[in-house]
Structure 1
Amino acid sequence: MPLNYHHLRYFWAVAHDGNLTRTAQRLNLSQSALSVQIKQLEERLGHALFERRGRQLQLTEAGRIALDHADAIFATGQELVATMEGTVQNRKALRVGSLATLSRNFQIGFLRPILSRMDVEVILRSGSPIELLEGLEAHNLDLALMNRPPPDDSLTPFEIHSIGEQEVSIVGTPARLQPDAPLRELLHKQPFILPTTDSSVRTAFDALASRLSVRPQIAAEVDDMAMMRLLAREDIGLALVAPIVVTDELTSGRLKEAKEHPRIKETFYAVTLRRRFANPLVQQILEQNSGSAFLT
């Protein structure tokens, strides 16, 4: 049976409004008539498209897929003139969430293989770990970039992909950092800019200081890599960061890197939701970053 595009248009309108009553009023239809139209579309597709949460309608995974197609279908009229002029291409969307505190250099490095593609639109959002995981579960995100994996057990719906790791370094301004100085001496004499205590990197650093019987002076505890980079540049202290965070500063000589590494690694993850209808762009970008040198 062919798809009834009237049903699809009604679904499309409700999906964007998120409220059946409001959409019915706007379309000058009764709420029951609109519900019947959507029910018939669900029967045709064989999947529920909405689930009700309070007074709001939440798209299911199948609903999110249907909305992506509906957006493309109903944009056709608007794109007709541009298509005839040869100025438009069909574009696919990749919705990426990133931990708000994650290095921007890392994000660009991961996304670079797909950013230059004219057929792909990358939608990048930032947030806390909880917000990112909720975005995945609500099908508002296709993948999330994090530096700590979420809980992984039989009850969680997430797939965790390790996409790279890098040794953390000690960096500072040329005026402050003596690159050849032993690690223990740096910990003993210099103030440090460190990640907050909920970071795996910070946990490893505290363990290292304990093994060396040193109690470092803490100049600042920071949960944002951009701020850590700025504080290091302003010579507030030595920073414990992955070199990718301060690539530009190391290249220009504004910051230097200690030769003795603390032997602490930061691991980066792409987290996805186990889906029946996976966005093919997710697999493509994961494959393109497999074995990639973007962290070096």
Structure 2
Amino acid sequence: MEWLNYHHLFYFWTVMKEGSITAASAKLSLAQSTVSAQLSKFEENLGAKLFRRVGRNIEPTDMGHLVFRYADEIFSLGREMMDSLHGRPVAGPLSLKVGIVDVIPKLVARKLLEPTGKLPEKVRLSCHEGKDEQLLAELALHNLDVVLTDTPIRSSLSIKAYNHLLGECGVSFFGVEKLAKPRQSNFPHSLDEAPMLLPMPMSSSRGMLDQWFERIGVHPVIIGEFDDNALVKVFGQAGDGIFMAPTVIEKEVAQQYQVQVIGRTNKIREKFYAISVERIIKHPAVAAISDAAQQKLFFEC
């Protein structure tokens, strides 16, 4: 295991915070030569240059900026730990690291996270988008506080985590005016032979959609299949076909993408979950997300 010299890291962090070796030396009550030597030793141990000389001054390299971001978080957490141990109010914003599975529409993610901005204490959000297995692995390592997804955690994954259903809603179908207007009166049968932009076949929503079409005897013309919710809306905005989105964001989709609602159905249900390592949610920001989703966002769906 590679060990990190936190004394060296602290000297580097101080130089970055103060803006120069001279100012950092005064702050640390050390000779400039001592600080310079410690920085050189730190760079040697890391195997990377953290500063480059520009005239008489030094500037951080890209690697320097990267190390500083980690150092700033490390020492911030250290201060929080000491404040907490001594019963002092924890300084700084509450940190919330969220994993968002890439199939979750971004407008839904925004609505789910919105309550964190209304808490009495400030919340610093850190959002990471990716595949469910990748994000759940990060959750298991405690690199994330919660994962927002549209499916519960699979039993085949050897991760100790808990599903918290945030809510569910039906879906709405959208299109530009020339596609929407002729099909609004006889929905959903008006979707027969309509140009459609659909989720990929392996997605949970596509499976429900195909079954629903089969039951009502509708056979749309598939123009494209997508695993990116934002991309399908861009194609829909361009008039390439009709697309669907959760009804809970119907108003926002219509306004943002300048499309009209053709119709909606509750026969297809989109579910949204928060997955955490806690059986009972304790993180105040995650609790706010769960409470607002159940009591407001999905209450009438």
Q: Which TM-score band applies after superposition, normalised by the shorter structure?
A: 0.5 to 0.7
RMSD in angstroms over aligned alpha carbons?
A: 3.4
Q: What is the TM-score when the length of structure 2 is the normalising length?
A: 0.65
Aligned to 2:272: 268
- Work out whether 1:181 is the aligned partner of 2:186: yes
Structure 1 runs not aligned, ≥5 long: 1-17, 29-65, 76-87
Q: Deviations over 1:43-65 (max 9, x none)?
A: xxxxxxxxxxxxxxxxxxxxxxx
User: How many angstroms apart in 1 are the aligned matches of 2:215 and 2:178?
Assistant: 28
Letter in 2 for 1:207: Q
User: How many angstroms apart in 1 are the aligned matches of 2:257 and 2:210?
Assistant: 28
Letter in 1 for 2:226: V
Shift of 1:231: 1.2
Which piece of structure 1 moves more, 204-213 or 271-280? 271-280
CA contact (8 A) 1:229 1:245 kept: no
Q: For residue 90 of structure 1, give the secondary structure of its aligned residue in structure 2.
A: coil
Q: Deviations over 1:68-89 (max 9, x none)?
A: 74153589xxxxxxxxxxxx95
Q: Deviations over 1:276-295 (max 9, x none)?
A: 99544333432343322268
- 2:229 counterpart (206, 225, 228): 225
- Work out whether 1:170 is the aligned partner of 2:173: yes
Q: For residue 290 of structure 1, give the secondary structure of its aligned residue in structure 2.
A: helix
Change (3 A) 1:215 1:71: farther
Which piece of structure 1 moves more, 232-241 or 96-105? 96-105
Aligned to 1:130: 133
Count of residue correspondences: 229
Aligned to 2:262: 258
- 2:108 counterpart (106, 109, 112): 106
Aligned to 1:3: none
Q: What is the TM-score when the length of structure 1 is the normalising length?
A: 0.66
Which piece of structure 1 moves more, 214-223 or 239-248? 239-248
- Work out whether 1:286 is the aligned partner of 2:286: no
Structure 2 runs not aligned, ≥5 long: 10-37, 39-73, 84-89
Shift of 1:268: 0.7
Question: Sequence identity of aligned pairs in percent?
Answer: 22
Shift of 1:96: 0.7
Aligned to 1:94: 96
Change (3 A) 1:229 1:253: closer
Superposition pairs for residues 203-214 of structure 1, below 5 Å?
203-214=207-218
Aligned to 1:41: none
User: How many angstroms apart in 1 are the aligned matches of 2:101 and 2:138?
Assistant: 12
CA contact (8 A) 1:193 1:239 kept: yes
CA contact (8 A) 2:170 2:269 kept: yes
Aligned to 1:19: 2
Shift of 1:193: 0.7
